[in-house]
């Protein structure tokens, strides 16, 4: 016997799931969302995007007060860290955001089914919560169960001495030495937080570069800036083991290509070598949902799995593991289920690393264009020549625009700058509209803004920047 029936049941309330549920409800579908966490919002709002940005923002203020305000003629006395208050700020931001999603569920009359979901059949979701198991009938199921930390053999996470991003968001004190395994998004963001708060940070990266998905020139430049900030890098290096001891953790490292091992001590180790799709307990094998060789749910262009009535979106399917990508897919699948034409343009999904300065990109990198054999022109403009950046004492970085050599269509935009994450929106919009570099160059940009550097880079594609 079923306890209730719906048009759509969404499994998971992360940015993919909760946005999908809201859009489905807006379109008149009777919608429920299953979430087993005590609060809504998934990884992103509880232990991901939001708390990490709260700490990045707060630690940036600490760094500024300590080192940067004097140059603006602002004298401050002794600057002290109140880590408990900083964590309180982060927890407050998380609470406000997760409560916000709960409010939106109520407003849109979405049922929150509290507990763990298992797909019993293509039209039945079983939810096991405090009150036992309940069965719910539905016309469609959208799996948005997200992702989890990728493990590494020999490095056992205890969330105290050897932490994942979750533990790194909640350390009770500033470690003297923090070793970060993986020089990607989490490693550089959380490494920056703790370095600003006083930790000596060493990043151990398997490849011979950090931020492997980003444009090579940007990632090289970023590494130089982070090094200047005090971060140490061990590139082309693998961790073969991490053993907790009385003092902290002893790590053994080896060159990635093989060679002699070395030992490094740390107070805390952060494991951040990527994330893996989370499909455990969903019962996918029983209903026959196909999984690829990397554990991701296989979907077609309309987010449909191989089992009629079951769909999947977000981190659990192919593509960048980013909150806004999951959100776009959530909207698209809800619209498709309501008979509309939901669609996501995967060529214009921005990626941002919220370090100082920030790294942002949309579209293809120079390396990708070369590999694809695309003839392109590049226009670059340094922040040192931007008036607003000078006023902000934030002249590190540049904007680079890559455009098709023949048609001038923008193929990729790469920004290393303060507020690059905000600046990139202009580039994403331009790409969404199929703009040429000339279109950006001829668009009036307010003065003085950092975004004028985007216009100048567009002018530089045609060899005519004005301010350099």
The catalytic residues are 447
Closest to 53 in 3D by CA, of 155, 182, 209, 189: 189
Q: Does the protein bind ligand FAD through residue 37 (CB under 6 A)?
A: yes
Q: Does the protein bind ligand FAD through residue 191 (CB under 6 A)?
A: no
Q: Does the protein bind ligand NAI through residue 183 (CB under 6 A)?
A: yes
Residue 32 CB, shortest distance to ligand NAI, in Å, is 27
Residue 271 CB, shortest distance to ligand NAI, in Å, is 8
- Residues 429-448, mask of contacts with ligand NAI (x by CB under 6 A): --------------------
371-375 own/partner pairs: CB under 8 Å, 24+ apart: 374/404, 374/411, 375/404, 375/405, 375/406
Q: Does the protein bind ligand FAD through residue 48 (CB under 6 A)?
A: yes
Residue 314 binds which entry of ligand FAD, ligand NAI, none, CB below 5-8 Å type-dependent = ligand FAD
Q: With H, G, I as helix, E, B as strand and everything else as coil, classify residue 220.
A: helix
CA distance 220 to 400: 14
Radius of gyration of the chain (CA): 24
Q: Does the protein bind ligand FAD through residue 186 (CB under 6 A)?
A: yes
Q: Does the protein bind ligand NAI through residue 54 (CB under 6 A)?
A: no
Residue 97 CB, shortest distance to ligand FAD, in Å, is 12
Answer for the pair 458, 415: CB distance below 8 angstroms, yes or no.
no
Residue 323 CB, shortest distance to ligand FAD, in Å, is 4
Answer for the pair 213, 185: CB distance below 8 angstroms, yes or no.
no
CA distance 165 to 49: 11
Site for ligand NAI in 137-156 (CB under 6 A): 152
Exposed/middle/buried for residue 347 (C-beta within 10 Å: 0-12, 13-18, 19+): middle
Site for ligand FAD in 391-450 (CB under 6 A): none
Order across the sheet with 237-244: list the strands.
237-244, 249-255, 262-266
Q: Which stretch binds ligand NAI (CB under 6 A): 107-115, 192-200, 243-251, 266-274?
A: 266-274
Q: How far is CA 364 from CA 213, 227, 346, 403, 404, in A?
A: 10, 26, 11, 10, 11
Q: Does the protein bind ligand FAD through residue 282 (CB under 6 A)?
A: yes
CA distance 311 to 291: 13
> What is the total residue count of the chain?
468
Q: Which of 189, 267, 328, 419 binds ligand NAI (CB under 6 A)?
A: 189
Residue 233 CB, shortest distance to ligand NAI, in Å, is 11
Q: Does the protein bind ligand NAI through residue 314 (CB under 6 A)?
A: no
Site for ligand FAD in 1-30 (CB under 6 A): 11-17
Chain contacts with ligand FAD (rule: CB under 6 A): 11-17, 34-37, 42-44, 48-49, 52-53, 116-117, 144-147, 165, 186, 278, 281-282, 314-315, 321-324, 326
């Amino acid at each position: 016997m079923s306890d209730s029936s719906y048009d759509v049941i969404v499994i998971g309330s992360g940015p993919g799931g909760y946005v999908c549920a809201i859009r489905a409800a807006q379109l008149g579908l009777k919608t429920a969302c299953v979430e087993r966490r005590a609060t809504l919002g998934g990884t992103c709002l509880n232990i991901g995007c939001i708390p990490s940005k709260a700490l990045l923002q707060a630690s940036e203020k600490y760094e500024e007060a300590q080192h940067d305000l004097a140059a603006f003629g602002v004298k401050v006395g002794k600057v002290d860290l109140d880590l408990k208050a900083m964590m309180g700020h982060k927890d407050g931001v998380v609470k406000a955001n997760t409560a916000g999603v709960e409010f939106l569920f109520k407003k849109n009359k979405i049922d929150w089914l509290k507990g763990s979901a298992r797909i019993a059949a293509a039209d039945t979701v079983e939810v096991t919560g405090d009150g036992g198991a309940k069965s719910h009938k539905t016309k469609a199921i959208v799996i948005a169960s997200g992702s989890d930390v990728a493990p590494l053999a020999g490095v056992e996470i205890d969330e105290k001495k050897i932490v994942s991003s979750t533990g790194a968001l909640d350390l009770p004190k500033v470690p003297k030495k923090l070793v970060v395994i993986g020089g990607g998004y989490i490693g550089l963001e959380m490494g920056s937080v703790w370095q600003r708060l006083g930790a000596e940070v060493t990043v151990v990266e398997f490849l011979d570069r950090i931020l492997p998905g980003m444009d090579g020139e940007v990632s090289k430049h970023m590494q130089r800036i982070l090094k200047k900030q005090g971060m140490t890098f061990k590139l082309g290096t693998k961790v073969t083991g991490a053993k907790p001891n009385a003092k902290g953790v002893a790590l053994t490292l080896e060159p990635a290509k093989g060679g002699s091992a070395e030992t490094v001590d740390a107070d805390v180790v952060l494991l951040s070598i990527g994330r893996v799709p989370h499909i455990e307990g969903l019962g996918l094998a029983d209903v026959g949902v196909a999984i690829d060789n990397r554990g991701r749910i296989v979907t077609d262009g309309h987010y449909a799995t191989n089992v009629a009535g079951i769909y999947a979106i977000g981190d659990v399917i192919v593509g960048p593991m980013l909150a806004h990508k999951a959100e776009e897919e959530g909207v698209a699948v809800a619209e498709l289920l309501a008979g509309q034409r939901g669609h996501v343009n995967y060529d214009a999904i921005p990626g941002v690393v919220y370090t100082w300065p920030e790294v942002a990109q949309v579209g293809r990198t120079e390396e990708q264009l070369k590999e694809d054999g695309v003839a392109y022109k590049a226009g670059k403009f340094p922040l040192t020549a931007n008036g607003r950046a000078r006023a902000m004492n934030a002249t590190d970085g540049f904007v680079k625009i890559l455009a098709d050599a023949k048609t001038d269509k923008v193929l990729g935009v790469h920004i290393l700058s303060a507020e690059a994450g905000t600046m990139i929106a202009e580039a994403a919009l331009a790409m969404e509209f199929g703009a040429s570099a000339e279109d950006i160059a001829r668009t009036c940009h307010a003065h003085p803004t950092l975004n004028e550097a985007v216009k100048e880079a567009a002018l530089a594609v045609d060899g005519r920047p004005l301010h350099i």
